[in-house]
Amino acid sequence: MLEKALTGSNKYWGWIAVLLAFMAAGALSYVQQYNYGLGMTGMSRDVSWGIYIAQFTFLVGVAASGVMVVLPYYLHNYKIFGKITILGEFLAVAAVSMCLLFIMADLGQPTRALNVLLHPTPGSILFWDMIVLNVYLFLNIFVGWVVLTAEKKEVAPPKWIKPFIYISIPWAVSIHTVTAFLYAGLPGRHFWLTAILAPRFLASAFAAGPALLILLCLIIKRVTKFDAGQEAIQKLVTIVTYAALINVFFILLEFFTSYYSNIPGHMHTLDYLFFGLHGHSQLVPWMRVSAIFGIVAIVMFLIPAARKREDTLAIACVLLFVSFWIDKGIGLVIGGFVPSPLEEITAYYPSFQEIMITLGIWATGFFILTVLFKIALSVKEEKMIS
C-alpha cells in the first residue's frame, strides 16, 4: 500500500517538499550539534532538559490520545468512530516517532543509545519508558496496517488482530503514566513531586490529541474527498471539552495546594512561571498566554454555535493545542528545573540550532503522518468510488 503515497496532486507534493525542506534544515543543525556537543543548545547545568524533552513529553500525550477513538469503537461498538480509528492510530505512530527522535536528539552520546537495551535496569523509569513507547509504536503500526489492508480488500479484519487492539488501549494509558513517572518520582524536584502528575498528563493529552485529530479531519475534508462526519467530529469535541475542563481543574488543584499551604518550596515554581520570582519573569508571558488561550478555547467549545461551525471549531482546536503545548512543554519541564536544588534561578533560551532541530523533527513527524494518512485516505477514497 506504500505506493499510494507516491502519487498525489501538486498540493500534496508541494506540502511534502516543504516538510522535506524543514527536515533537511533540521538535519543540518543536528550535524552541527553532533559535532559541537549539546552546548549548542540553551541548556545549562541548572536547566539540564530543554525543549527536546519538552516536545517528547507533550508528544507522548498526543500519541496516547489515539485511545480516545479506539476505545469507544472497539470496546463499546461506537460505530461513528469507525472511519477515523485508523487516523487516530496513524497519528499515534507519527507522534511516537517524534518522541523517539526527540530523545535521540537530546542524548549526549546517541551512539550509545543501545546501552539501555544491553544493560536493562528495571529500577529505572527511563528503561520502562523505552519499552512501553517502542511496543506502542509497534502496536499502532501493526494494527493500523492490518486493519487498513483488510479494509482495502473489503473483508473484516482477521480475528487475531483483536488482542493487539485490546492491549493497545491500556497500553496507551501506560505510556503516558510511565512518562509522568519519570518526573513524579524524583525527590529533589518539588514541582513534579505530586501524585496528580500522571492524571494531569492524561487529561491534558486526551484534550490536546483529539483536538489535533479534529484539526486534521477538517483539513482532510478540504483536500480530499474524505469526510469524517459531523457526528464523529462533534463527539471528539465532547471528549476534548471534558478532558480540557478536567485538566484545568487539576491545574487549579495544584494552585490550591501550593498557595494555601503557603510552603515556599511548593510555591516557588508557580511563582516563577506565572508571576515572576526574584525579578526573573521570562516565562510569565508564555504561561499567561497559555492560560488565556486555554480559557478562550474551552469557552468556544462550550458554546454550541462556536463548536458546530468549522471555522470557529478550528480556531478553538488550535488555541487549545497551543495552550496545552505551552503548559506541558515549557511550563512543566522548564519549570521543574527552576529554582534549582540550590535555590538558584537560571534562565533558559533555546538556541537557533535547537529550534531548527525541533522544527525538523516536527516536520519529520508530519511527513510520517502525511504519508500514512495519504495511504489510508487513498484506500478509503477508492472504496468510495467503487
Partner 1 sequence: MDIKRRQFLKVAGLSTIAGLGAPAAFNLLLKGGPDTVSYASSGGEAEASHEAAPTGVRLGMVIDQRVFDANKGLAQKCTTACHTVHNVPNFGNKKDEIKWIFEVPFEKAFTGKSQYHKNKNLEDSSFLVLCNHCDNPPCVRACPTKATFKRKDGIVAMDYHRCIGCRFCMAACPYGMRSFNWRDPRPFIDQKTHNKEFPTRMRGVVEKCNFCVDRLARGQQPACVEACGNTGAMTFGDLNDSHSEIVKLLDNNFTIQRKPSLGTNPSVFYIV
The binding site for partner 1 (CB under 8 A) comprises 36-39, 42-46, 48-49, 103, 106-110, 112-113, 115-116, 118-127, 130, 182-183, 186-189, 265, 336-337, 340-344, 346
Which residue in 163, 72, 197, 181 sits closest to 126, CA to CA?
181
Residue nearer to partner 1 on the CB measure, 42 or 88: 42
Query: At its nearest, how many Å lie between partner 1 and the CB of residue 331?
Result: 16
Residue nearer to partner 1 on the CB measure, 89 or 106: 106
The Cα–Cα gap between 345 and 279 comes to 10
Residue nearer to partner 1 on the CB measure, 107 or 223: 107
Torsion of CA 236, 199, 164, 128, to 10 degrees: 140
Angle at 353 between CA 51 and CA 369, to 5 degrees: 65
Query: At its nearest, how many Å lie between partner 1 and the CB of residue 100?
Result: 13
Residue nearer to partner 1 on the CB measure, 11 or 45: 45
Dig out the grid coordinates for 91 from the structure. 497519528
Residue nearer to partner 1 on the CB measure, 312 or 351: 351
Residue nearer to partner 1 on the CB measure, 5 or 345: 345
Query: At its nearest, how many Å lie between partner 1 and the CB of residue 346?
Result: 8
Query: At its nearest, how many Å lie between partner 1 and the CB of residue 264?
Result: 9
Residue showing cell 526573573 = 280
Query: At its nearest, how many Å lie between partner 1 and the CB of residue 119?
Result: 5
Query: At its nearest, how many Å lie between partner 1 and the CB of residue 53?
Result: 9
How long, in residues, is the chain? 386
Query: At its nearest, how many Å lie between partner 1 and the CB of residue 196?
Result: 19
Query: At its nearest, how many Å lie between partner 1 and the CB of residue 335?
Result: 13
Q: Is 261 exposed, middle or buried (0-12, 13-18, 19+ CB in 10 A)?
A: exposed
DSSP 75-135: IH--GGGGGTHHHHHHHHHHHHHHHHHHHHHH-SSGGGTTHHHHS--TT-HHHHHHHHHHH
Q: Are 204 and 327 in contact (CB under 8 A)?
A: yes
Q: Are 12 and 366 in contact (CB under 8 A)?
A: no
In a 3-state reduction of DSSP, which class is residue 41? Answer: coil
Residue nearer to partner 1 on the CB measure, 18 or 107: 107
Residue nearer to partner 1 on the CB measure, 116 or 245: 116
DSSP 156-167: PPPTTHHHHHHH
Helices H, strands E: what count in the chain?
16, 0
DSSP H/E element including 22: helix 10-36
